[in-house]
Amino acid sequence: MEPREFYIEDRLERYRTNAPCNLGESGIRNLNYGELLRRLEILPEEWNDISLEDSPNRGGAKLREEIAKLYPGIGPEEVLITTGTGEALYILFRLLCEPGSSVSYFYPAFQALYEIPKLCGADLHPVSVLSSFLERKTSFLSSNLIGELFREGKDLAIINHPHNPTGLSLDVNAAEAIQRESIRHSGWILFDEHYRFLDYHNELSWTGAGVNSKSVATGSITKCFGVMGLRIGWMIGPASLIEKARSFKDYLTHTVSPISEFLTLKILQKRKELSERILDDLVCNIQYFESIWKELPGLKDFVSPGGGVVSFIPLKKGINSSEYADLLMNQCGVFVLPGRDFEAEGWIRIGFGETPERFREGIDRWKRLRW
C-alpha cells in the first residue's frame, strides 16, 4: 500500500519561494544564517570547533540533556533526536500501530498524523473540531471532544496542540481533562507538540509527555524559531520505546547533522530571549487580522488562534477553497492554503508567521481581491 500524495506539501512546494506574499506557511519567517548567528551571539571559535563526524545515533548528549529540561520528570535517556518531527512521527506510528489498531485524532489534521497510521493498517477515527470551534468561538479544546478522542482511539489517541490547521490549543481545563482521561486510557497517547514554543496564551506551556506510562510526545524548534532548514525534531517517551525507536532510526536517517545539533542547542539555551520578539510579532499580526478580516472578501468568520502560527477560516457559503486560494494568488500574489488540502472543503488556512510589515502588505493586497 502506498501513501496518497501529501496535499499541503505539493502546494507549498509550488508557491513557498515565489509567492510575493506567503501567508500559507505554518512557521515563523525563516532567518538567514548571519542573522541567526548574531541573535545567538555565537563566537567564531565555538563555530570552528564543531566536529563534522557523525553525531551519536540517539543525538548528542548535551542536546538531549537540554531538551529533557523542557519536560518535567523526563531524563535524557527518554529523548531521541530525529530529522524533523516528521521522522519521529513516522517511527512512532510504525512502532505503535498495526493492522486493525484503532487510532483517533482531531480532524482536520496535519496529514502525516493519519496517513501513516493508515499505511500501517490502522482503523482511523477522526474527531471533528470544526463545528465546536465555530459555535463556541474559542480556540481551546473542549472536554467533550477530548472525551470522544479517548473513547475512539482505544489503541492510540493523537493530540496535536497547538493544533495545525485550526490554532486550537489547551487551557487549564482541557489539560486537566486530558490528565483525567489518560488515567483510564489503556492505549498509547501521542502528543504532537510541534508548535509548543508558540503557546502564547498558556503560560504553563503544558506538555503531555509523561501523563501516564504510555504517553509519547514529539517536538521541534524549526517552525517556532524560523529555522526550518535545520530539520531537527525529537521524541520523548518511555526509555524502552525510545530504545526501539533509536534502533529503527538506523534504517532511516541514522544521525542528524552536527551543525544543526549545535545550533539547536544554542537556540534552546537562548529560547526565552529569542521567543520574546517572535511572540510580539506573531501576536501583533493576529491582532491586526482580528481588526481587519471583515474587509477581506469571501470570509465568513474568524476565531483567533489559541497557540501556534495558523488559523483555519471558514469561507462564505458555496465558495470553493481551491478556487479562492488560486484567485488570491493569481490576482493579488497572496498565497494561502485551501481547506481542500486538509480534506475540509469551505475553509482556508492562513499563517501569521511573516514579519508585521510583510503581513500588512499581504492584507493590503488581499483587500483588492475581486471575488
The CA-based dihedral angle spanning residues 190, 191, 194, 200, taken in that order and rounded to the nearest 10 degrees: 170
Question: Of 63, 112, 92, nearest to 246 (Cα)?
Answer: 92
308 vs 362, which CB is nearer to ligand PLP? 308
**Residues 208-227, interacting with ligand PLP (CB under 6 A):** 220, 222
The answer to the question of residue 339 lying near ligand PLP (CB under 6 A) is no
Phi, psi of 3 (to 5 degrees): -70, 150
Q: What whole-number distance in Å separates Cα of residue 108 and Cα of residue 316?
A: 19
22 vs 164, which CB is nearer to ligand PLP? 164
Q: DSSP code of 217?
A: E
Query: Which grid coordinates belong to 341?
Result: 488540502
Beta strands 79-83 and 232-236 are antiparallel
The answer to the question of residue 193 lying near ligand PLP (CB under 6 A) is no
55 vs 332, which CB is nearer to ligand PLP? 55
Cell 459555535 belongs to 135
CB of 230 to ligand PLP, least distance (A): 9
**Residues 66-95, interacting with ligand PLP (CB under 6 A):** 84-86
The answer to the question of residue 104 lying near ligand PLP (CB under 6 A) is no
Question: Of 197, 176, 258, 247, nearest to 67 (Cα)?
Answer: 197
The answer to the question of residue 264 lying near ligand PLP (CB under 6 A) is no
**Interacting residue with ligand PLP among 15, 19, 24, 26 (CB under 6 A):** 26
CB of 106 to ligand PLP, least distance (A): 10
**Interacting residue with ligand PLP among 167, 233, 306, 338 (CB under 6 A):** 233
**Interacting residue with ligand PLP among 25, 66, 181, 192 (CB under 6 A):** 192
What 3-state DSSP class applies to 46? helix
Q: What whole-number distance in Å separates Cα of residue 363 and Cα of residue 234?
A: 35
CB of 294 to ligand PLP, least distance (A): 28
Identity of residue 135: E
**Residues 155-184, interacting with ligand PLP (CB under 6 A):** 160, 164
Binding site for ligand PLP (CB under 6 A): 26, 84-86, 110, 160, 164, 192, 194, 220, 222, 233
